[in-house]
Amino acid sequence: MGLAKTEMFTDDQNEIALFAKAFGHPARVAILQHLFKINSCVCGDLVNEIGLAQPTISQHLKELKNLGLIKGDVEGTSVCYCIDNESWSKMKKVMSAFLDQDLTKTGDCC
């Protein structure tokens, strides 16, 4: 398998791809939906809510945190996660601009 060669692309293109990665697995979508639904931090109930093993949930949480869409606070021996509202707003703005490109075109191009 070859390298991604992300340096060939603009910062905007790389940012869009990273945000899109968050939605690239249904478990991450389910985690985000649950965090929005409860509207608070969650520590241990994601395993029961999502139905996946703890290591799998932890891996998806790590990915979402690395992408900046969630944040976590250490409480004792656990980490509690919630949506990072500032990053979520930024992601929505970036993705909306990308997805709305077609609205400026008139007529059929082919």
Domain count, the chain: 1
Percentage of the chain beyond pLDDT 70 is 89
How much is the pLDDT for 59? 92
Structural domain contains residue 100: no
Structural domain contains residue 68: yes
Averaged pLDDT, 85-97: 95
Q: Rounded to an integer, what distance in angstroms lies between the CA atom of residue 85 and that of residue 12?
A: 20
Domain assignment of residue 58, given as a range: 12-94
Give residue for tokens 């075109």. 105
**Residues 6 or more apart from 82 whose CB is under 8 A from it?**
35, 40, 41, 42, 70, 71, 72
